């Protein structure tokens, strides 16, 4: 019995030592208040800035329509539904107020706070732009200007950036007229970056509205 008691006490001592060796330490992360931002951030960046920040990438969904939609949203706002940039462009896809009015949306506060409405607006605007560009898609698809192959998805992306009129001007000029947005991003950048996606899902609609 005495030998058994000695063994038991030894096991208890070993257990206690092991337990002390695995003491749990909780890691506390403090938030620096200097980094808390109370106003909207402009996520739209220039082509040059984005090329230098390739470590930040959108979700990869291939060349599907969802891939097109999410890649474009990532470029516009990093996919943030609630952002407003310094020029007043709104939401995940950075819509201007005039474009929203064209597709039947007048309440920008409602738009900014309704994610489903933003998705519907994106589709409606694509349908409208595809109708406006329908003949240009047929005529210019497959041509190469400034080393960039013209594709339907590239044209629709460029129209989202600058409007279908700017895309028409670029194509009619043989690639000489290059509209740039307020951040200095040209239509050619969108035509190159968003080329080759499947946008056949979009049906041209002159009266596309929400």
* Cβ–Cβ under 8 Å, residues 181 and 162: yes
Q: Report d(CA 98, CA 107) in Å as an integer.
A: 12
CATH 1.10.530 correct for 47-193: yes
What pLDDT digit, counting tens, does each position of 44-75 carry?
444 444 544 444 565 668 999 999 999 999 99
Neighbours of 136 (CB within 10 A): 19
* Cβ–Cβ under 8 Å, residues 149 and 82: no
What pLDDT digit, counting tens, does each position of 102-129 carry?
999 999 999 999 999 999 999 999 999 9
Compute the Cα dihedral for 13, 18, 21, 27 and give only its sign: negative
In this predicted structure, what is the pLDDT of residue 183?
82
Phi-psi region of 151 (alpha: psi -120 to 50; beta: other; left: phi over 0): beta
Answer yes or no: is pLDDT of 17 > 90: no
Angle at which helices 164-172 and 152-162 pack, to 10 degrees? 120
Reported pTM: 0.73
Q: Report d(CA 43, CA 93) in Å as an integer.
A: 11
* Cβ–Cβ under 8 Å, residues 100 and 108: yes
Where are the chain's structural domains?
47-193
């Amino acid at each position: 019995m005495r030998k058994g008691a000695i063994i038991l006490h030894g096991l208890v001592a070993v257990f206690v030592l092991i337990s002390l060796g695995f003491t749990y330490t909780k890691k506390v992360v403090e938030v620096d208040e200097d980094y808390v931002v109370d106003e909207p951030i402009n996520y739209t960046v220039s082509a040059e800035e984005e090329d230098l920040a390739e470590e930040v990438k959108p979700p990869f969904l291939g060349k599907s329509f969802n891939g097109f939609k999410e890649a474009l949203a990532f470029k516009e706002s990093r996919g943030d539904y609630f952002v407003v940039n310094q020029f007043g462009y709104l939401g995940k896809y950075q819509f201007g107020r005039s474009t929203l009015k064209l597709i039947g949306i007048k309440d920008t506060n409602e738009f900014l706070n309704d994610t489903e409405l933003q998705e519907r607006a994106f589709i409606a605007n694509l349908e409208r732009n595809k109708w406006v560009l329908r003949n240009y898609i047929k005529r210019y698809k497959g041509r190469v200007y400034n080393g960039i192959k013209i594709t339907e998805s590239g044209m629709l992306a460029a129209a989202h950036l600058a409007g279908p009129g700017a895309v028409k001007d670029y194509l009619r000029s043989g690639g000489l007229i290059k509209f740039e947005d307020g951040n200095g991003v040209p239509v050619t950048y969108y035509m190159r970056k968003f080329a080759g996606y499947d946008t056949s899902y979009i049906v041209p609609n002159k009266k596309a509205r929400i």
